[in-house]
A = this chain, B = another copy of it.
Amino acid sequence: MSGQNEGQPGRKVAVIGLGSMGYGMASTLLREKFDVAGFDVSPEVLARFTRDGGRGAASPAEAVAGADVVVCVVVNAAQTGAVLSGPGGCLSAMERGAVFLSCATLSPDEARAFARDVEAAGHAYLDAPISGGAQRAAAGELTILVSGAGSTVNTARAVLDAMAERVYELGEAVGDASAFKIVNQLLAGVHIAAACEAMAFAAAQNLDLRRVYEVITHSAGNSWMFENRMPHVLDNDYKPRSMVDIFVKDLGIVADIARKDRIPVPIASAALQLFLMTSAAGMGRDDDASVARLFERINGVPVTGSVKE
């Protein structure tokens, strides 16, 4: 598989973390004729990846052997740290000068700390949070926010372009791309929580929620998240596309930065508390629109698009 690309820099890739996002990104790279090794903690996922034409590896260290670019697609800072420096970690196994492309949503401080570790070991680091969801990951249509040294971006450019519809190059400073991502997550989390609050409010006014959806999506009250998530609420379908606990984490990062830098974020704080209540009520691993079910339980009024009797 690697024959036609041998010797071309940036064509040998390791993807660490084959979850809903990582699997799609690795599949896209395979489709685009990159030589892709993958690692995941789940043996089933790894077996599937091998069947799909990838090279399965037993550890991050094994996956990165020979790779020019290491794409790390895990959930948070703890997992990113484990990928680098945990048992079987890849930091000491990476090729000298290889690029570690970090896709988890991290705080800018966490991103900078990882970059220091990676660079101290003789490699290059790109701050590269992603957005767009599993479907766009599988289609190679992600949005990727990137910051880091221009030469490092160039080394990784073929990989970035294969995985993304849009790559925003946000400067040389590692941490800046993470800061942009966190601003997006602040808004995304607030918009989901507000959408659920508004739907619960509308339900309590006895309005037809499918009609509310139609009116709002054509009005000034619309948001990307309202339009995308409220169909889950209307259909009473809370299987997780993205989980409540992701926003407990991401709005938690917002709250940490806000406290550290003394920037009040009253709306994001109210949204964080709603995700936290939803998680505390047992729905942490359900779809993030489950905030609507929290209101349902509190108010005792169904929040759904089903016809009411």
Contact = CB atoms under 8 A, between A and B. Distances in A.
Interface of A: 108, 131-132, 143, 145, 166, 168, 170, 176, 179-180, 182-188, 190-191, 193-195, 197-198, 200-202, 204-205, 207, 211-212, 214-216, 218-226, 228, 254, 257-258, 261-271, 273-274, 295, 298-299
Nearest to A196: B267
Nearest to A175: B205
Contacts of A183: 198, 201-202, 205, 207, 212, 216, 221
Contact of A223 (B108, B132, B222, B262): B222
A108 B262 CA distance: 41
A194 B188 CA distance: 10
Nearest to A171: B208
User: Most chain-B Cβ atoms within 10 A of its Cβ — which of A166, A223, A270?
Assistant: A223
A300 to B, nearest CB: 10
User: Nearest 3 CB-CB pairs, A to B?
Assistant: A187-B221, A223-B223, A184-B221
Nearest to A145: B215
